[in-house]
Structure 1
């Protein structure tokens, strides 16, 4: 039997698969999944035309009080920025155009999932 943590992990993997298929159907080339570093975890990394994109995938069930995008607080945003910066530094990609997008997934009404892709959702403060 699965405990709550294992259930969340499996649901997260399923949501990342849904997000990857959705993004690929819209022309994104997925390069990596679940990249861990000192900065944190990046769910998906892909190329949207010539832009390197770090994707945060959020799934919320039908009983959730907040949507996936709204569930990303200040501290999570800072961890994503740090993880993306670390990745860019490690791969010498500082001059490459990049952004952080959010893919919010929820149960759908007319289809199995409702997917919302928010481009440039998280930005570093100037």
Structure 2
């Protein structure tokens, strides 16, 4: 379905991260930054909900084959995400900040199914 629409996997990822961000804004969250990179990995979205800093991992799959988007988070990815979050907090001197880590799984095409899971760890 998306063949030819995106130049590469990164463009596809950015597209679905934007969809996730728009979805979360409609749910009342405020964007802080997108695609924070560090030596440990990347944080797709950083949002704020009231006083809570929300780190969001976004995964897209076009079908439910192999478990679909909801089952796309590996143990390795979660470890990299944790390290990236610690790095972000240290860089921004946010030692006593309330935080939460969420997962947005997007599956299928127009309309896509969006699942938002709060507090994944």
TM-score for both structures, normalised by structure 1: 0.85
Structure 1 gap segments, 5+ residues each: none
SS at structure 1 position matched to 2:32: strand
SS at structure 1 position matched to 2:65: coil
Structure 2 gap segments, 5+ residues each: none
1:19 equivalent in alignment to 2:16 = no
Structure 1 moving runs of 4+ over 2 Å: none
Distance 2:84 2:111 in 1: 31
1:78 maps to 79
1:88 equivalent in alignment to 2:73 = no
Where do residues 39-118 of structure 1 align in structure 2 (5 Å cutoff)? 39-62=40-63, 64-107=65-108, 112-118=111-117
1:50 Cα deviation from its structure 2 partner: 1.3
Number of equivalenced pairs: 118
1:63 Cα deviation from its structure 2 partner: 5.7
TM-score for both structures, normalised by structure 2: 0.89
1:38 Cα deviation from its structure 2 partner: 1.5
Distance 1:94 1:39 in 2: 19
Distance 2:82 2:68 in 1: 21
